[in-house]
Amino acid sequence: MLASRPFNVRVPPRYDAATPAPLLMLLHGYGVTGEVQFAYLRLAPVLDAHGILAVYPDGTKNDLGKRYWKATAACCAPAGSKVDDSAYLSAIIAEVRSEYSVDSRRIYVMGHSNGGFMSFRMACDHADVIAAIVSLEGAANADPEKCKPSHPVAVLAVHGTADQTITYDGGRTTRVGSAPYPGALASVLAWAQLGQCATTPDVPAPPDRDIQQGRPPATVTSFSKECAPGGHSELWTQADGVHIPAWNDTFADQLVGFLLTHPKP
């Protein structure tokens, strides 16, 4: 086993080794597990419909028994942690590719909260492999010197304006780290620049997205003009959205749809 810790793989019912399948890595939030995160997002029917392999590993437990990913200085490893989650998660992808028929142009990462931070980290470190990521209520690295991807990666951030854990406008939180993290718009703007996209949002903006129960549609800010091949950066801003919202029945399909429309060039 290349990866140093166990992990879960979910194979869609119509998987056929003769046809390379997309691969989605799902990264849980701080304090939960991959299995819990997978169930929360209700991904199974959508992944099965599209024939997508899924892998959902677990982070390391800290002294409080809470699982974490060591993503950035802001989130969420304890001081002194020697865990190298970037290498671990990369090894998982390599191992799954060695055992299953994986479409090398359609390898994706999605994460919530701490997993969102880690999704950005994976895009920084493994841009030669990862085509696109989704970060839910997470943030990019505040230090541009820590993120120099070798290739453009398409990025989608989804963030609520009422998130009190990872705030929409950025900040810091003593519960999961002491370093600052950028806001949602700053995160996607940084990735627009990394993808060599024009840094003026698309006009007209893409249509709003209906993603949460009991909330108005989320507004969309997109950077898709003049990008290098594979580059794209997008933000769905949910008014009054909180850190762990009640997503609607179409949300998982919308996320997977974004990923599938952004393969490696």
Give the pLDDT of the chain (265 residues) as one tens digit per residue.
455 678 999 999 999 999 999 999 999 999 999 999 999 999 999 999 999 999 999 999 999 999 999 999 999 999 889 999 999 999 999 999 999 999 999 999 999 999 999 999 999 999 999 999 999 999 999 999 999 999 999 999 999 999 999 999 999 865 555 789 999 999 999 999 999 999 999 999 999 999 999 999 999 999 999 999 999 999 999 999 999 999 999 999 999 999 999 999 9
Q: What share of the chain is helix, strand, coil (3-state, %, to 5)?
A: 25, 25, 50
Do the domain assignments include residue 1?
A: no
Q: Give the 3-state secondary structure of 184-252.
A: HHHHHHHHHHHCCCCCCCCCCCCCCECCECCCCCEEEEEECCCCCCCCEEEEEEECCCCCCCCECCCHH
Do the domain assignments include residue 164?
A: yes
Question: pTM higher than 0.85 for the full model?
Answer: yes
Domain that residue 96 falls in? 7-260
CA 67 to chain centre: 17
Do the domain assignments include residue 203?
A: yes
- Tally of domains within the chain: 1
Do the domain assignments include residue 43?
A: yes
Any idea what the CATH number is for the domain that residue 172 is in? 3.40.50.1820
Do the domain assignments include residue 265?
A: no
Do the domain assignments include residue 2?
A: no
